[in-house]
Amino acid sequence: MDWDQVISGMTINRDKLCDFKDKCGKSEKNLTTDLFTQLEWNHSKNSFEGLFGWQRFDSDHKVKLDRDSFVVEVKKVTEGSEYGYWHAVIQGLLYQFRLSRSCPVLCIILDWGRRSGQKLTGDDKAFLSQFQKNSIYFIRFNLSNDFFIEHNLKGNWNEI
C-alpha cells in the first residue's frame, strides 16, 4: 500500500482538518462523513460477517484512491477518555480476521481525550505500532490546544 496519497491529502487539507477542533459534540457518523468530504475520498460502506453471536460488523467505509484500497475505522476519543484507541484496535483486528489480511485497515483517531494536547508517548506509539504486522495503521488528530496530526503510515511515527 502506498500511503503517500493519504499523507499528501492530509497535508494539503490540514487547515480544513483543523476545523474539527470545534466538532467534539458531533456523532462519530457525522464526523466520519465530514472527514471523508474534507479529504475528498471516494468511499463505500463495507460490512463483515460477525463473531461471538453478532451478525455483522460495519466498518466506517472502504476507501479507494487510484489503485489502492483500505478499510477505514474512525473513532472519536471524548474528553476525559481514551476508549477510542482500544475500540479502533479491536475493530481493526476483527476486520483483518474477516479480510484474511487482504486489505490494510486505517484507524483514524479524532482525539479530544486524556492524551489530547500532548504527543503520544513512546509506549503509546509502541503499543499501536505492533499492529502494523496485521496491516493496521493509525492516524491521530490532536484536537485540543495546538492542532497536529501523528501517523505511522510509513512505519515510524511522523507528524503533519
pLDDT at 111: 92
- For the chain, the distance separating the N- and C-terminal CA atoms, rounded to the nearest angstrom, is 19
Residue 5 has pLDDT above 80, yes or no: yes
With the C-alpha atoms ordered 24, 153, 138, 103, is the resulting torsion angle positive or negative? Answer: positive
Q: Which of 108, 151, 144 is nearest to 129 (CA)?
A: 151
Name 145's Cβ contacts closer than 8 Å, sequence gap at least 6: 116, 117
Residues 43-68 as b/e (b if ≥16 CB within 10 A, e otherwise) read beebebeeeeeeeebebbbbbebeee
How many domains is the chain built from? Answer: 1
pLDDT of residue 133: 93
Domain with residue 78: its CATH number is 3.40.1350
pLDDT value at 90 more than 70: yes
On the 0-12 / 13-18 / 19+ scale of CB atoms within 10 A, 74 is buried
Quote the CA–CA distance of 70 and 73 in Å, as a whole number.
10
pLDDT at 99: 81
pLDDT over 80 (residue 19): yes
Find the DSSP H helices in the chain: 4-12, 14-18, 28-39, 83-99, 122-129
| Cα(81)–Cα(106) distance, integer angstroms | 21
Q: What is the dihedral of CA 119, 122, 126, 128, to 10 degrees?
A: -20
What's residue 30's pLDDT?
Answer: 81
pLDDT over 80 at 94, yes or no: yes
Identify the residue with better confidence: 69 or 23.
Answer: 69
| pLDDT tens string 105-128 | 999 999 988 888 899 999 999 999
Whole-model pTM?
0.90
Top-ranked range on mean pLDDT: pick from 23-32, 53-62, 139-148:
139-148
Q: Which domain holds residue 54?
A: 4-159
Is the pLDDT at 11 greater than 70? The verdict is yes
User: Which tens digits make up the pLDDT trace of 28-84?
Assistant: 668 888 898 889 888 888 776 767 766 766 666 889 998 899 999 999 888 888 778
- 115, 82 contact by CB (below 8 A): yes
